[in-house]
Every structure is written in structure tokens, then in C-alpha cells.
Amino acid sequence: MAETIQIRDVSVCLEDDGEGSPLLLLHGFPATRHLWSRVAPLLVSAGYRALIPDLVGYGDSGAPAGVRVDMASQARWMLELLDRLGAARPVIIAHDVGSAAAQLMVAKAPGRFRGLAVLDGVYAAEWAMDAITSIRDWDPADAHRLFPVLARRLAKSAALREMLAAYQGEQGGLRLIRAARDLDPSQTADVGERLRASGVPATVLWGERDEFLSIQDVGQPLAELLRASLVKLPGGHFTPLDCPTEVADGLRTFLGSLPPAR
């Protein structure tokens, strides 16, 4: 059951399921919280509390006109969300550019987190921006035409189509164009040393067939930066939907290796 939480002038739509040690699950672009629909139940059944928001400006979370929905802003809002929920020392599990927000959160406040898991994420300024050029350049007057094109390109399964459903119609298309235009790879270009010094345990999970962010060029150097294991998964870019059992197994192994929450 989703709820909406107001944080200053933005709203965050959130699913809060389970009990136990908290996990914050962040999606990327052009996803929504439904990215985690097949993984979260497996984590909840293993005894964890899954906090699954739509990032602000994505899915059912909203921001007023003129408010940037870039990943640095997402990091600030997500830290405030954790405070509001009383979620102490969570593990962040983040996919795609959602991992940019996660990296900024860990770099800013490493003592607040028990661990960091990155799935098919970003490294330094490598955000696969070429893949979304057409969305950034899309004419807002034709926003209603964007979802059918996106669905043909990405929605190879019913689960992917459900994840993207929030972007149907004119308003959905406008949200997606706005989110794409606010992405800024420079925000993580220089975060590496702070991440390395954070001391937060990490793991990196990657789809072997990721067509947007390569395991060799992005996954491997990110794992080296984080001093993390690199787990190869039998999927493409959207691993939480492609191979949810393997994702959940990899995450449970990592979570089980962490020191107990204080």
C-alpha cells in the first residue's frame, strides 16, 4: 500500500513493507518504484523492511514547476525521507542513476548507512547519457507521443510495461522529459575519493547483457572504487525485473555479511 509523504515543497510516494533492518530501494531513469516489485517481497520475506519510493518527479512523486529533480536534490530529499520514517542505518540498494543519489548520500553522511548495493549503476560521470538524448530533445508539445515510443524500445515484458505506465499521456511524457533534462553527470564526477574513504561496505551487481552501462567499462571500475565484490547476473540492464531471484540472492548474501545494526 503506497503512501505519500510531503517533504518541504515536494511529495514522495512510498511503499513501506516488512519489519526489521531497513533497506532503501532506489530506482533510476526512466523507471519507477515498480522496478522493485519482484525483488522487494523476497527481501521482506527474509526479514527486512523495504522502503521503496518513487524518486521526486518520477512515477507518483511530484515537484512544483521550477524545482530541479536532479540526483543531488534526490539525495537531499531521500535523507530527509529517512529521517521522517525513523529509518536508522539503512542499507541503500540503488539501480541505474538512482545509484548517483545513493553515492552522494553515502559520501555526505557515511555514518548513517550500514551498506551500499549498486545494480547496473553509474560510475564517475559515466551515466550512459547518449541513451536518453532523444528524450532530452523531445518536443514537449508532443509529450503524449513519448510513451508509445519508449514502450516499444524498452517494454519487452509486462513487468517493464507496468514500471513505465506512469509516463503515459501528456503529463507522463512531460515528467519524463523534465527528469531527463535535469540529469547531470557532473554531480558524481568527483565523488570517488569520498566514496572510497567512506568505509561503507558495498557490493556491485550487474547484468551480463546490460546494453546501456557496460560491466567492463562501468561495473568493474565502480567495484574497484568501492572495494566491492562484482556479481554478474543473467540479465540485461533492468536486472530487478529480468532476474529477481538472482538479484535477491545476491543482496541477501551481501546483507548477511554486514555487521549487525547498532
Measured distance CA(183)–CA(104) in Å, rounded: 14
The answer to whether 141 and 175 are in contact (CB under 8 A) is no
Spatial CB neighbours of 235, under 8 Å, sequence gap ≥ 6 = 207, 208, 209, 210, 242, 243, 246
First to last CA, the chain: 29
DSSP state of 111: G
Domains of the chain, residue spans: 2-127+186-254
pLDDT of 125 higher than 90: yes
The pTM is what? 0.97
Residue 17 in contact with residue 50, Cβ under 8 Å?
A: yes
What kind and span of H or E run contains 230? strand 229-233
| Helical pair 98-108 and 71-85, crossing angle rounded to 10 deg | 70
What is the topology classification, in CATH, of domain 2-127+186-254? Answer: Rossmann fold (3.40.50)
260 pLDDT band (50/70/90 cuts)?
confident
Residues with Cβ < 8 Å from 181, sequence gap 6 or more?
136
**What pLDDT was estimated at residue 1?**
80
Cα separation, 213 vs 209, in Å, equals: 9
**Chain position carrying cell 541513451:** 131
Residue 149 grid cell: 515510443
Cα–Cα distance measured from residue 92 to residue 103, given in angstroms and rounded to the nearest whole number: 9
Tell me the per-residue pLDDT of 2-46, one tens digit each, with 9 for 90 and over.
999 999 999 999 999 999 999 999 999 999 999 999 999 999 999
The answer, yes or no, to whether residue 262 has pLDDT greater than 70, is: no
d(CA 243, CA 55): 23
**Radius of gyration of the chain measured on its C-alpha atoms:** 17
